[in-house]
Structure 1
Amino acid sequence: MRIKNHLSYLLLLMTIFTVPWVAAQGSYPAQETKCQSNADVLFVCGVINPEDLYQIPETNWVIATGRISDSAGPIYAVNIESHQVEEIYPHNAALPEFDQETYQQCPGPILTFQPHGVTLRKGLNGEHTLYVVGHGSREAVEVFNLSVAGDVPVLSWTGCITRGRKGPEGLTRSLPWARPL
């Protein structure tokens, strides 16, 4: 039953997020949005052009990537119970913790990219690895530490996997046995 409830919330979020937001193409990063609700539908407001959704395991939080332009967009945390929306990247992110040993081919941190495609590798004690396909000034999978130990999830950029060969764009999958090359 719990899975069914979570799936219902996710379907509701996906339906709401796929509504055309042409009028929402405002200034980045902050935008005031007036939301209306009725007896049948409860809207989640404050997310600009969400592209992808991923529920963080064992939490009420969903990661939503946003699209402001072809080269910029935020990452949000959306609480499916309270409907709280928090931008967690680039604003409100923890300082980068560049893992140069693991991500040797990565040129360094980047604040502005258009996130498109997201997956998560579950960790221990509320510490996970989030992989986000990024477009814009570079084509790479941006890698973050995702901490859910506090009241709101926190992202800290740790590295990137640059695109060395042609492949499907906007597609990423974390394999439990795989390590970056």
Structure 2
Amino acid sequence: MLKQIIPLALMALLSACVDDEMQISGCEPMGDIVPICGMQTPEDIAALPDGRHLLLANFGGMHDGTGSLSLFDTDSGQLTPLFPPRSGPVDTGDPLWGEADCEPPPLARFSPHGTHLHQLADGRWRYLVVNHGGRETIEMFELLGVGAQSRLAWRGCVPAGPDTFMNDVVGLSSGDLVFTRMFHDGGRLEQLLSLLGRNTGDLWRWSRETGLRVIPGTEANQPNGIEISADEQYVFANMYFTGEVWKVDVDTAEVIATAPVASGDNSAWGSDGRLWVVTHSDSLPNLLSCFEHQAQPCGAGFEVVAVDPETMAHEPVFSHRGAPMGAATIAVPQNGRVYLGSFVGDRMISVPDFGLAR
């Protein structure tokens, strides 16, 4: 009986009053907000070290959709597909990363979510991608080339443990990684229990030596985006429905501090040295309405909250609702502007870098 009630409850939420601003048409700038349209949903964004290019994780949706990885030039506006390859086999190179028996992902079902670009101790750049397509894995790519010549070579993967739906991941220079388990299965029952306050996930760590292990004491309601400090001593996890950002010691697993930041999606380091957490500030019916059409932009309100990594003091530094894009997930500074992606739609937006004025 409960399984029959849950879909009805979710449908009731969806059919509740939804504001007209949720529906967006056209691709015109609005003041300083410039939309970049004609791309598959850029749910996560990573800035390349050249100060000009971005890696985009083109999201296919929470379940069943497929996506891709691409390169965006902030000067020319050119978008270049990177993965899956247009033709030929996957460039595997020397797959030294990840689990020894992990094969390349099924390309026709590739479905990227959270990502992290970081440098390993040997100087190579590793791009980690949560993949839901055909399997629940963290795919590992090496970033090769520079600037417009950048390309991705698959280097292995780490399968998630059973009963795991991941959201985001960060890597350490040692090769270890830490990821968020958002749900166990992400089904309607678990989603409803989440709305009722039940914890749904936690943080996990992986290394080649010890494999997967849960980080004790990190159970929360929908762990979402995660970032890591430059010294790799702490991770900052956005506990979406718990309503907090947690600062967790990587080695001791101790929760050092928290900040009361509700509905935090993805995070990135801002140009002001603070952690920029994108939060969803709109009503639940409005947010749920965004999921009805994955390819359509949605105007749900959001804020970028800047969190001091030392004191955990926090303040909103940017907010928006409606056209040309709402429902943002990530805010990344690059080349004098801040680029914001979304979990739905055909675009990202850019605004002048608000961190530089601090």
Q: Please give the range of the TM-score, normalised by the shorter of the 2 chains.
A: 0.5 to 0.7
Spell out the pairing of 1:34-53 with structure 2 (5 A cutoff): 35-37=27-29, 40-53=32-45
Aligned to 2:263: none
Do structure 1's residue 117 and structure 2's residue 114 form an aligned pair? Answer: yes
Do structure 1's residue 86 and structure 2's residue 80 form an aligned pair? Answer: yes
Unaligned runs of at least 5 residues, structure 1: 1-18, 24-33
TM-score by length of 2: 0.37
2: CA distance, partners of 1:80 / 1:36: 18
Aligned to 1:133: 130
Spell out the pairing of 1:1-181 with structure 2 (5 A cutoff): 35-37=27-29, 40-69=32-61, 70-91=64-85, 95-97=91-93, 99=95, 103-111=99-107, 112-122=109-119, 127-149=124-146, 151-164=148-161, 169-179=166-176, 180-181=207-208
Deviations 1:111-143 (A, max 9, x none): 23210110012259x951111000020000001
What is the Cα deviation at residue 56 of structure 1?
1.4
- Report which of the two structures shows the higher radius of gyration computed on alpha carbons: 2
2: CA distance, partners of 1:86 / 1:20: 29
RMSD (Å), alpha carbons: 3.4
Unaligned runs of at least 5 residues, structure 2: 1-20, 177-206, 209-358
Residues 107, 20 of structure 1: alpha-carbon distance in 2 compared, 3 angstrom cutoff:
farther
TM-score by length of 1: 0.67
1: CA distance, partners of 2:170 / 2:96: 21
Residues 21, 121 of structure 1: alpha-carbon distance in 2 compared, 3 angstrom cutoff:
farther
Deviations 1:76-130 (A, max 9, x none): 1112232221111113587232516753131334323210110012259x95111
Aligned to 1:26: none
